[in-house]
Amino acid sequence: MKSVNIACLVTILFAAALSFSCASTGGDAVTNEGYRWNFADPGAGTAGWTTAPDEFWDFKGTIDLSRDDTFLGRPMLRVDVDFSGDVGSWWSEPKLKYDFDETFELRGLNRFAFDMYFNPRNATAGSFKGKVIFLYNTGTVLEAELDSILATEEAGDYLKASVVFRFRSTRSINSLRLGIVGAVTDYKGPIFIDNLRLE
């Protein structure tokens, strides 16, 4: 196993626990077990995910969202982000958003999860935090913040963290936000997201 410079290691903080990785299944799908996004269809681009620039918090950098087929040889969501101008902030939060086609019920679900890959060489300081916000129209139904979790695997030059936000709600939503939060970090480069799901 390669040695990783701890000073460069980008630690991800979450309010959750480790999840098991699952393989992508094909298209976005609503099932009895929840909702899954994957990026296998080139025509679907980012599968409905966009940035939410009007909702950024203390973020002066840039963020670009795309679908990528080259990383690890399978399609993923690619988030190119630059926190270098926000290294003094403990909570610098660009957001991604997703609007459901129909109202989606959270009853019976308790996790929002994904796999996240980042390159520790793209930062000399700081860590990531995060936040997920569930909305119905313009009202917030619930939110969860990220708390202390470490990357558990290596993937080439990248590190992988299996991310889980835990929640409890019987409410319905029609939109959600995912905040990728820089905490006193100068991270500049791509982050890859795979196996994105509500379950």
For residue 141, what are the contacts with CB-CB under 8 A and spacing of at least 6? Answer: 106, 134, 135, 169, 171, 172, 173
In Å, the largest CA–CA distance within the chain is 47
- What pLDDT does 71 receive? 94
Low-confidence ranges of the chain (pLDDT < 50): 1-27, 29-32, 148-149
Each residue's pLDDT tens digit, 18-60: 333 333 333 454 444 689 997 888 888 999 999 998 999 999 9
Domains and CATH numbers, the chain: 48-198 (2.60.120.260)
Each residue's pLDDT tens digit, 181-193: 999 999 999 999 9
Strands 29-31 and 172-183, sheet pairing: unpaired
- What pLDDT does 35 receive? 92
